[in-house]
Every structure is written in C-alpha cells, then in structure tokens.
Structure 1
Amino acid sequence: MVSCNSDKKKGEKAIEANPETSTEKTMTTVEKSIENTKWLISSLEGQDLTGEQEIYFILDAETNRVSGKSGCNTFMGTYTIEEGNRISFSELGSTRMMCPDLKINEAEVLSVFELADNFTVSDGTLSLNKAKRAPLAVFKKAVVSNEPIVEKYWKLKTLEGKEVSMTDNQEREVYFTLKGHNNSVTGFAGCNIMQGVYVLEEGNRIRFTNMATTLKACPDVDFNEAEFLKIFEIADNYIIDGDVLSLNVGRRAPLAVFEAIYMH
C-alpha cells in the first residue's frame, strides 16, 4: 500500500513582490535538524520501550518521504514541516507481515504519525506531540556510521574461544558487515546467507534484531552454524582494538572474535 503525496510543500517560501525587499519564511535550524536522521523510539504514550523491538523513523529531506519500522512491519509515507515546529504526515502505507510474538501494538505506533501535529527536540531527543498535551511518543537519535564497527568486512576468527578455519566444502568464509545507511546486517554464517537489523548505543552497546537466514542445507560443511547465529541473539556489547572486533555479552570472555578484512 502506497501513501499519497501531501499538497503542502515543506519550507514553502512567501516572497514579496519587490525582490530587493523580499522576506522569506524558511525552516529554522532546529526544524531542519530532525531530517536525514534515524530516530529510535524510547517511549510511547509514557510507556518505556527501551530495549524492545526496534521502532524507528527517518525523514528524507530530499523527497519529503518518511519511512521506518513499527516493530514488525515497515511503513512509508510523506510529511510536511512548517514554521514553529509544525509537522504533519500523510496516511501511511505498511507491509502486512504477521508477528504473533510481537509485544508492541503496531497500530498504536502508527497512530502517533496520524495524530502528531508538532514536535520538540532537545539534546538528541525528539518528541512527537498533539497540540500541547503530553508527548505521543519520544525518540532518541541513533548512533550512525561514524562508528569504527560500521561499513567493515568482519571475518570470523574465533568462536567461543576456539579458532575457526574455512572447511574444504565451505562456500566462503564466515563474516558479517554492518551497513550505516539503513542499519542492516548482512553476512555469511557458514552455509547460509544471513541478514538482520542492528542498533548501536552509547558505551559500545549493540543489539541485533530480526536476524534471518536462507534455508540451505550443507551436510558436508563441518561448521556449527547455529552456534554462530546464537552470538547475534545474545551479544550486547563490543570491543574494537585496531582491526580486531570482539562481540560480547556482559563482561564475559568474547563470544566471537573477528578481524577486519580490506578489499583491494
């Protein structure tokens, strides 16, 4: 389902007849600062959602389109920003995946964009509001691709303390890469291609969600793919030392150690 474009134009300018004395109504720096940024939800109608399934949205300043994830499904639409931190969204289109284990009511998330008519932003926190009532939802700015873990090819070196080498029948080496533009994870798990979503937080915290693989069977490959994929379920922090990356849970010994490989 695809949403309709709004008739309004963001940052529409009012120009006087005399160009020498013209004045323009333009968006403030604060208004512009919310665009081209990934905003992760932290609360919904006062309920803390930190650490739950990833819910986010991004405003594309070039196309005036909003896109995001409401917990299970992705959504899209258009938006308009006007003076005084006013904002409005078109009716949103959404995918229709069924996620019976989802703890969040996606309809409530989407209703935020239906109801919101203004926003406030301060210290990396964005609130979408209706009139002057309490925030409908609060979002935090996501940490993005300037982190050294992002946009690198990480080759697996050790798994649960044991060295890993590529077997004769293995299609390629085990690795993963974090993409900065859409917070996606891609990689190869020993037999199957894998993909998912990641979130980086302060203090080298990391969370992986929606990890999935192809369903190929590789009976001749001597590698415990399930053990490797389990890493992405439980890892909650990382350490980088030069070109060496450790994925960890708590303060335990590393779950897995990777080496950055540079392609020429």
Structure 2
Amino acid sequence: MKSLAASIFVSFLFLACSSAKKNASDSTTEKTISTLDGKYLVTQLNGENVSEHNITMEFDKKNKKVSGYSGCNTYSSTYTVSDNGVVIDIPMATKRYCPDLGDLEKDFFKALTSCKTTQLKSDQLLLNGMEGKTLLAGVKE
C-alpha cells in the first residue's frame, strides 16, 4: 500500500513539474512574440556582416506577418509561434533582377525560413538554426 501511495505521489509530482515547465515556456514564447513586434535591421547573415545592404525584417504580431527589404527585393511572409520562438513561411518577393545581390538574397531567404529558435537580447534579435547556430542577427530600429 505504501509503494502504491508513493507511486501516485511521484506521478503527481512529475505532472506538476511538466505543467509548470509548459506554462513557463508558453509565457516565455508569448513574451518573445510581444517584444518581437517591430522593425529590425539585419546586421549578420550566417556570421557575415551585411549591414551595408540594409536588409530589414518587420514583424507584425497582430497579423503574424514579417516583411521587409531583402537587399534587392521587398518580401512578405507569415509566421507561426512555436515553443522556441517563430517559424517563418517561405516569403513572396518582388522580381527585381540584381545580379550582384542574387546570392545574398537567396542566402537571406534560406536563413529566414530555416529559423528554429528565436532569441531577443535587449534590442538584438537572433534567429538560430537547428544546431543553435545564429543564422540571422538584427537590431531593432
């Protein structure tokens, strides 16, 4: 009987801990999303400084959209909220031809849609890939 009571107690303890973790995660995600709202200038793409190209990301939390300038074209996409931040869908972009910036734009869109985790540090936004590597870094304007 004592072992049954102990098993039940341990089960409730695990349930309480996992519920507290989930609530904390939900709260953190909601805080991330609410502070994410606004316009960011992309400063790094895959570890390289791209500040001179004026790439931007503007997050609209009400409509869950992200849009901006990709170095050559303007773009727009939607995003969804995950436990680790945001997941950005494949963007639509204008079709301007920029031969010198084609690879930059392609790399930007690849990084944008490969984001797995989102971090906000003061006014800096970090979008990280699967292994935690920072794909995009930006500062709030």
CA contact (8 A) 1:38 1:141 kept: yes
Q: Aligned pair 1:90/2:92, yes or no? A: no
Using the size of structure 1 for normalisation, the TM-score is 0.41
Mark the structure with the bigger radius of gyration. Answer: 1
State the distance in 2 between where 1:67 and 1:30 align: 18
Distance 1:49 1:104, change over 3 A: farther
Q: Supply the AA of the counterpart residue of 1:93.
A: M
State the distance in 2 between where 1:94 and 1:103 align: 13
Q: Give 1:131 deviation, angstroms.
A: 2.6
State the distance in 2 between where 1:130 and 1:67 align: 20
Q: Supply the AA of the counterpart residue of 1:95.
A: T
Identity of aligned residues (%): 26
Matched with 1:46 is: 47
Which of structure 1's runs of 4+ aligned residues deviate more than 4 A? none
Matched with 1:61 is: 61
- Count of residues paired in the alignment: 117
List gaps (5 residues or longer) in structure 2: 1-22
Say what the alpha-carbon RMSD is for the aligned residues: 2.1
CA contact (8 A) 1:74 1:95 kept: yes
Matches within 5 A, 1:23-38: 25-26=26-27, 27-35=29-37, 37-38=38-39
Q: Supply the AA of the counterpart residue of 2:87.
A: S
Matched with 1:77 is: 77
Q: Supply the AA of the counterpart residue of 2:69.
A: K
Matched with 1:118 is: 117
* Cα deviation 1:215-249 (Å, max 9, x = unaligned): xxxxxxxxxxxxxxxxxxxxxxxxxxxxxxxxxxx
State the distance in 1 between where 2:133 and 2:100 align: 29
Using the size of structure 2 for normalisation, the TM-score is 0.73
State the distance in 2 between where 1:42 and 1:130 align: 17
* More helix per residue: 2
Q: Give 1:133 deviation, angstroms.
A: 2.8
List gaps (5 residues or longer) in structure 1: 1-22, 143-264
Secondary structure, counterpart of 1:100 in structure 2: coil
Q: Supply the AA of the counterpart residue of 1:61.
A: K
